[in-house]
Structure 1
């Protein structure tokens, strides 16, 4: 069935979607949710069940949703949204949308002009706001506010707690201040103005729909009654309004974050966030709180459920028709592609998922940041230990092993936890990268940081999994020839290193490891781990009872070298006993994916070391740049695998350590001074640091409100030490501090990035809408 054409009277004939204006068609498409899942689950005839109405049938049965144009009551000539005043008061000036965007818990002003002067004694004016495809007063999705035209006092809807006050009446012009409640439903609201002429019941009613506009209500970190309230002004500026970010990848030894364009105010980011809530079939009343919204976005950011935004892929090569994960420079281009096709965009990995979620949630007004955990564990079986298995020859058994990612990026959002006891408000960790199911869906969190730190794994949501990522003990199991398995080595300090996010007001790293766990090895940290193990799916007490003081102290040293240089790793052994000890073992160096999965073996050696009491010796393993340059994955990750056994005792040492070679930065030049609305040129340059040709090279560029996603592909190989340059166009749409983000990718080398920060000044010409 088709909806009646909006803006016509209730007697108008039904219209097809093609009869609507482009604006109306867009609103119809995104505001109407499919009920196919529910209908399919019910199936067939359902005489004994609640009647199932289509969205259109539901709306047609609500009298106040019908437009009435013929009558003697006031007729609306126009509605003014007072965009500049409202946007400035609600901190929504930068949203690039035709709709009025307001934050709940704050009043916004509307100006309504009628066809005649307002009679304060005889005219009744009601404002009606509806949200969703099936508005209903009892659900708070249909709000009616009968204005006090005569006394101009505030009126409040008892069901929804919306309020409105007439601020002035001048002849035919009405000015009114409307305030959504601080716990109101977020989403796109349709506005109706209903007028009634007292004593003229037959033709005394008119009902007008503001067809050309929606009023988008979002969360409000500036309102103390909103659960997302953030008191510190600088933090609001960083975690809600800042469009430029840094996401840490690679190695914890690097202090440089990867530039990322969140671009949450660019089109179509806000529309995309609201569309995903529709796609998740999240009922409008559930959109009052951030928990359900965060879980819906976490699920729909990946494509594993309901064809969400991004498809994940972790391979060495990618189809030419797709975009490799390391080529993305920001979220806007991803959302443009998704909204144009409503199909998953190819491809993403953890930092791309995280950057995307930051964009979507900041667009909705929830304070959010991207967070990187180095040496991040992936517990596959809910044991909350990270298990590695080796055979009798000290070779790993991959199919039995949990993985430790070189780094993993997720998100945190800031809000109060009304569903939990006091003490769990603040930052909540959540993750959209598809790893494990949460209530049957690929998503994770939100989990309070305090609950993770204190090991309160019995609370919602997914705290055990995140605890394992940052503080699980790594257990090395050895299987003998008969198939028996026993603990060979336990490393309580292997995972959760330098948990990092961008600092407030700068691009420097902020180490927040202390928010996730007590100091490594401290009494408090060990007590938490012991407590958590009570909830493990396996009984692990025997693991810790088997711990004895080691005779030999082992330590691993990893290099910090530029890509193309020789790589040397080492293991140092010190005899801490009063007897001479003999140590035997091996070291191997491999290429790997950043997820900890090994790829190609580069070089390995076996060692036998005899140590007198107190003696110390270091063994090194070196691989030249020439040895690894043709075997290296584009992300430039290497992995050290080391196993050593002390002869005559049961002591074993095992370590799997990943690290990333350092890459050069792109050189970006832009004009020192720019103004809104004018065109400029910039350049980006790259020099090949490897002694081999780079094939299928490309630049990807992006910049919030200044540069739509731009891709330049090189048709010829880039030779060793060759410098390539690309000139791009710039046209600022908004003033303020801006940034260009760029990446270089090729078949042999990827993830080379760079950025340029600059200021765009106001332009006195009318094209500057913020002036």
Structure 2
């Protein structure tokens, strides 16, 4: 793409530059940046790119000195154009012209940036000098990104399949639910959507680091550690003009419910078009996916990671305290918490600041939970540092370690007194998942964070909780009595929920027991609400006996009270009637919803700017009539707005269905999202996604 250039000074005809061609198409192929921009040059540091200069008439380069100059704010560097066939250096700015091309109207100049250049948009100038005369041209701008294809770049990645997955792929999966029933939701990272690159660069420009000291910020942008910290803080808006405002409870009528987002592009473009006003609302997976998009765009390999049963350890003692009533009801009185799942980002880099032992994947968490060095960001912290329990490793190693490997102390409270206590060393960090390379299957990363199998320590835990300082025994066995609680099978919406309580008597005498079982609804990151179901009974267990007790929560509860994202917290308290000792076991699980069918005529590979029909349907698999049924379809880049279909009554076995015309305006991976809800549900009952590949 040729463009006219602007020169300064009285320029003679024999060195007038008429046009410059940044050879965008060819350079983008060479630099693996195809699709990031259609109108400006985007290249990677440490690799040469080509610029064609077209003069008014042939020019004798031997009569002049030719220099290029790159400008970045107030920082400039000027360097000569050499006539040489030798390779360019990636240690400093350099340029060359092949000797055979120096007597032509059109000359191709090869320019190479240092491998540790700042990530930014640069201005490029040309200076032509002969004796005491200097002629200056403004050639235009280009964007310089990190280069994971270059072995000397700190973000270098060894395998092409890794680069395809962690840099070039615009589609991913986020794992949610519970460790007992893992679900996944797709996400369109959207780095090839028009305007996304500009939004990512704007994040750096409006950051507090840039606004406070632009020159220092530009100098430090060569370091991926610095880039990650700045961008991590900028994805949330707690300290700055960041992208997303977080909200975890209440209604979302003044914004978008976090579960409704399906991709990063819509969020980033809304932020950019609103003059950097925060987009409402995000939760952990939304923050993480947007950060993953930004890092991939700027050339830092990254992936989205889910930790199941992730702890938030407020007092940094690696102990999470949970409080239950003697009936098994969980109380909301602890400052600590365990989320059923928490999503963060891993990015890949060499840690020149820490040494080779800490190279590789680094945790970066943009969800605003705790401040790090005064701002709401977390990381980059080496995963290897978490595995080795290097608590003082920068950045935020102790907080991340607690997220995956804290101990849970469960306390039974009655009349303000602790009447039972146990320690669970396995609950936190049960599973750590990410999407596998080239596959929709999960890759288990748990062993990367936790190598040892934790066993109960012989010591007791001393904790200063809300009930004062208490000593907690290390095991869940009370005087030879052991209790466990399991879900017999993963329950589906409309089915009864079957719970199994197992009691083992390891003592030498019979035990007379009271069993109290309780179930509460909760969101993935919150304490349970009021009880939805209770049960109790009295029983006797003989020495050495193992009792298995079966309980059933009615199907009507899973239909009318539970939404798609709800989780059930179930707990059982067994009380010895003679000794008054109590032992507790708890379990959390989610209810599987029924799928929404989404089919696209002609298959899932479509052409741009062509109409296709999408057929959507949901079948009532429950045994009862559903009233006020609503089937909704939406898709950024495919539909202009939501499409809703309503039906007053949906009989058992009956389907609600609709057909919608879709058309894609840009290439890449797009997602159609279908949701189903009804008048008796507190939220969306079912949510399904359909991936579509769009091609020119």
Query: Distance in 2 between the 1:717 and 1:361 partners?
Result: 46
Query: Distance in 2 between the 1:647 and 1:420 partners?
Result: 58
Cross-structure match for 1:216: 143
State whether residues 739 and 755 of structure 1, in contact with CA within 8 Å, keep that contact through their aligned partners in structure 2.
no
Matching residue within 729, 732, 747 for 2:662: 729
* Structure 1 residues 649 and 279: alpha-carbon distance in aligned structure 2, compared to 1, 3 A threshold: farther
Query: Distance in 1 between the 2:372 and 2:198 partners?
Result: 26
3-state SS in 2 of match to 1:442: coil
Cross-structure match for 2:386: 452
Displacement of 1:401 in angstroms is 4.5
Summarize deviations over 1:141-174 as a string: whole Å, max 9, x none. Answer: x22121124x5667769xx722222233341322
Matching residue within 184, 188, 206 for 2:135: 206
Cross-structure match for 2:438: 505
Summarize deviations over 1:617-644 as a string: whole Å, max 9, x none. Answer: 2334432232353332452322213333
Matching residue within 60, 63, 82 for 1:122: 63
* Structure 1 residues 307 and 597: alpha-carbon distance in aligned structure 2, compared to 1, 3 A threshold: farther
State whether residues 327 and 751 of structure 1, in contact with CA within 8 Å, keep that contact through their aligned partners in structure 2.
no
Cross-structure match for 1:389: 323
Query: Distance in 1 between the 2:134 and 2:22 partners?
Result: 24
Cross-structure match for 1:553: 482
Cross-structure match for 1:562: 492
Cross-structure match for 2:529: 599
* Structure 1 residues 696 and 755: alpha-carbon distance in aligned structure 2, compared to 1, 3 A threshold: closer
Displacement of 1:602 in angstroms is 0.7
Matching residue within 233, 239, 245 for 1:299: 233
TM-score (norm 1): 0.80
Cross-structure match for 1:135: 74
Displacement of 1:751 in angstroms is 7.4
Query: Distance in 2 between the 1:708 and 1:292 partners?
Result: 38
Displacement of 1:396 in angstroms is 4.4
Matching residue within 18, 24, 44 for 1:77: 18
Matching residue within 314, 330, 333 for 2:248: 314
Summarize deviations over 1:589-639 as a string: whole Å, max 9, x none. Answer: 111111142124211123433211221223344322323533324523222
Cross-structure match for 1:27: none
* Structure 1 residues 509 and 625: alpha-carbon distance in aligned structure 2, compared to 1, 3 A threshold: same
Summarize deviations over 1:69-115 as a string: whole Å, max 9, x none. Answer: 43348332111111222111111112234111111121111111123
* Structure 1 residues 475 and 256: alpha-carbon distance in aligned structure 2, compared to 1, 3 A threshold: closer
Cross-structure match for 1:573: 503
- Matched residue pairs, number? 668
Cross-structure match for 2:450: 517
* Structure 1 residues 682 and 351: alpha-carbon distance in aligned structure 2, compared to 1, 3 A threshold: farther
Query: Distance in 1 between the 2:11 and 2:428 partners?
Result: 72
Cross-structure match for 1:419: 353
Q: Which sits farther off after the overlay, 679-688 or 408-417?
A: 679-688
Displacement of 1:390 in angstroms is 4.4
Residue 702 in 1 paired to residue 633 in 2? no
Query: Distance in 1 between the 2:520 and 2:476 partners?
Result: 30
Matching residue within 654, 657, 675 for 1:744: 675
Query: Distance in 1 between the 2:483 and 2:40 partners?
Result: 62
Cross-structure match for 1:679: 610
3-state SS in 2 of match to 1:589: strand
Cross-structure match for 1:631: 561
Query: Distance in 1 between the 2:330 and 2:289 partners?
Result: 34
Cross-structure match for 2:212: none
Residue 492 in 1 paired to residue 432 in 2? no
Query: Distance in 2 between the 1:246 and 1:544 partners?
Result: 40
* Structure 1 residues 655 and 288: alpha-carbon distance in aligned structure 2, compared to 1, 3 A threshold: farther
TM-score (norm 2): 0.88
Q: How does 1:397-408 map to 2 (within 5 A)?
A: 397-408=331-342
Name structure 2 gaps, 5 residues minimum.
Answer: 210-216
Cross-structure match for 1:439: 373
Q: Which sits farther off after the overlay, 659-668 or 465-474?
A: 659-668
* Structure 1 residues 194 and 750: alpha-carbon distance in aligned structure 2, compared to 1, 3 A threshold: farther
Query: Distance in 1 between the 2:661 and 2:604 partners?
Result: 16
State whether residues 407 and 428 of structure 2, in contact with CA within 8 Å, keep that contact through their aligned partners in structure 1.
yes
State whether residues 681 and 728 of structure 1, in contact with CA within 8 Å, keep that contact through their aligned partners in structure 2.
yes
* Structure 1 residues 694 and 288: alpha-carbon distance in aligned structure 2, compared to 1, 3 A threshold: farther
Displacement of 1:458 in angstroms is 1.2
* Structure 1 residues 391 and 90: alpha-carbon distance in aligned structure 2, compared to 1, 3 A threshold: same
Displacement of 1:366 in angstroms is 0.9
Cross-structure match for 2:113: 180
Residue 163 in 1 paired to residue 94 in 2? yes
Matching residue within 278, 298, 316 for 1:344: 278
Query: Distance in 1 between the 2:581 and 2:10 partners?
Result: 91
State whether residues 176 and 182 of structure 2, in contact with CA within 8 Å, keep that contact through their aligned partners in structure 1.
no
3-state SS in 2 of match to 1:679: coil
Cross-structure match for 1:40: none
Q: How does 1:29-40 map to 2 (within 5 A)?
A: none
* Structure 1 residues 305 and 759: alpha-carbon distance in aligned structure 2, compared to 1, 3 A threshold: closer
State whether residues 414 and 427 of structure 1, in contact with CA within 8 Å, keep that contact through their aligned partners in structure 2.
yes
Cross-structure match for 2:292: 358
Q: Higher strand proportion, which one? A: 2
Displacement of 1:726 in angstroms is 3.9
3-state SS in 2 of match to 1:193: strand
Q: Which sits farther off after the overlay, 96-105 or 629-638?
A: 629-638
3-state SS in 2 of match to 1:702: coil
State whether residues 323 and 334 of structure 2, in contact with CA within 8 Å, keep that contact through their aligned partners in structure 1.
yes
* Structure 1 residues 583 and 299: alpha-carbon distance in aligned structure 2, compared to 1, 3 A threshold: farther
Query: Distance in 2 between the 1:221 and 1:117 partners?
Result: 39
State whether residues 220 and 226 of structure 1, in contact with CA within 8 Å, keep that contact through their aligned partners in structure 2.
yes
Cross-structure match for 2:27: 86
3-state SS in 2 of match to 1:686: strand
Query: Distance in 2 between the 1:74 and 1:153 partners?
Result: 26
Cross-structure match for 2:364: 430
Query: Distance in 1 between the 2:320 and 2:135 partners?
Result: 67
Residue 102 in 1 paired to residue 43 in 2? yes
Matching residue within 145, 148, 161 for 1:234: 161
